[in-house]
Amino acid sequence: MNNQKLFREAYELLPGGVNSPVRAFKAVGGNPIVLTKGRGCRVWDADGREYIDFLASWGPLILGHSHPKVVKAVRKEVEQGMSYGLTNPHEVRLAKLVVEMVPSVEKVRFVNSGTEATMSAVRLARGITGRKLILKFDGCYHGHYDSLLVSAGSGVATFGIPGTPGIPDEIASLTLVIPYNDLEALRNVFEKHGNDIACAIVEPVAGNMGVVPPQKGFLKELRKLTKDYGALLIFDEVITGFRLAKGGAQELFSVEPDLTCLGKVLGGGMPVGAYGGRKELMERVAPEGDIYQAGTLAGNPVAMVSGVETLKELRDTEPYDELEGKMNLLKEGVGSILEDKGIPFRINQIGSMMTVFFTESEVKDFGTAKTSDTEMFSKFFKALLGRGVLIPPSQFEAWFVSTAHEQRDLEEALSRIEDAVKSL
């Protein structure tokens, strides 16, 4: 079956034909593709078309598709057993790697997704502090947990309103939302609500409004204020964990949170999430403590071995300078192509992550990210897709490179992108 037939069938069986909304291509228009194979830095769709892949399954595939060491370990474990419902040795192996690599984590609990990780970390913070309010930042996405799926205006300390039907006002009102990178708003919200805030949760490098790095002093001030007011600081490193450095963004910026949420790279392409922190905090989690959280498939042995092999490869090879160099090459090439065409743009990049924004404004928060010309992005996306270059089908997401992207792949991609931009 080809892309169109498969998607028509999917549409009859799945809401919107997908199991995650962005896959439906509604933000960019056109027909969604159905992927059937991935090798290295390339994927193939149901029509047999090949694409150079900068989506990387939305970030997990830092080693590329079907890395031989990961595939070998997964195949071996599948033959041993796919699920036990009790502790398996691979959970211990992966936990040791996480504790070794992430500066602030002394104990870790594995879950099945980033959403489960953030949900559980927030519950833990509320249980430890005895407080109800959560502080988050406009444009930072932390999964589809009710307390975190809220939006707000740009006012200081604005109480959240439901970001979607199905979230009661009573739950949304417990979440405070302020602009990302806004030090004045940050200080004001703690002055007004600091004694009632259980935790602040933040993407240390935003990746869900497009790539937006923290401005100088922002994370350090957030760390100081949470300590001063007795709130916990949660870093959502589901995207940045193990991608920007062995220890994630917290290692890169030398700021240690109380709790860290992980996912994506952690599972090497398998569905895995985790939350962790200092022993005295994590020892409050059941059965050691009184704050309950559980998962039937948490610590799944197949997912664990995928994560073990991925983290071992990253620990042993430390490819981060190499990855940044590859993304620099891609950024400079795309920037030169767009500049020659006379299209207004900004490119935000950190390490192996970047986003092309079609705006003349500096992009430093969600408000400035939204100045991007989404109609131009849609044209850009479809032109690239038509020439075999896959990027996220949304303006407000990150591009990724992997260790599987060789210079010749990047040069080929830039040639295809140049041809695509000429058609705009």
* Enzyme catalytic residues: 141, 236, 264
| Cα distance between residue 228 and residue 220, in whole Å | 12
Strand segments (E) across 32-132: 35-39, 42-45, 50-53, 107-111
**Are 313 and 64 within 8 A, CB to CB?**
no
C-alpha neighbours within 13 Å on the C-beta side of residue 363: 31
**Are 299 and 87 within 8 A, CB to CB?**
yes
| Cα distance between residue 382 and residue 376, in whole Å | 10
How many angstroms from the chain centroid is the CA of residue 143? Answer: 9
Three-state secondary structure of 244-300: CCCCHHHHHHCCCCCEEEECHHHHECECCEEEEECHHHHCCECCCCCECCCCCCCCC
The 10 Å Cβ neighbour count of residue 166 is 8
**Are 47 and 3 within 8 A, CB to CB?**
yes
**Are 175 and 193 within 8 A, CB to CB?**
no
| Cα distance between residue 236 and residue 287, in whole Å | 24
3-state helix, strand, coil in the chain (%, to 5): 45, 20, 40
| Cα distance between residue 185 and residue 106, in whole Å | 32
How many angstroms from the chain centroid is the CA of residue 197? Answer: 25
Pairing verdict, β 175-179 and 158-159: antiparallel
Tell me the sheet residues that pair with 354: 349, 399
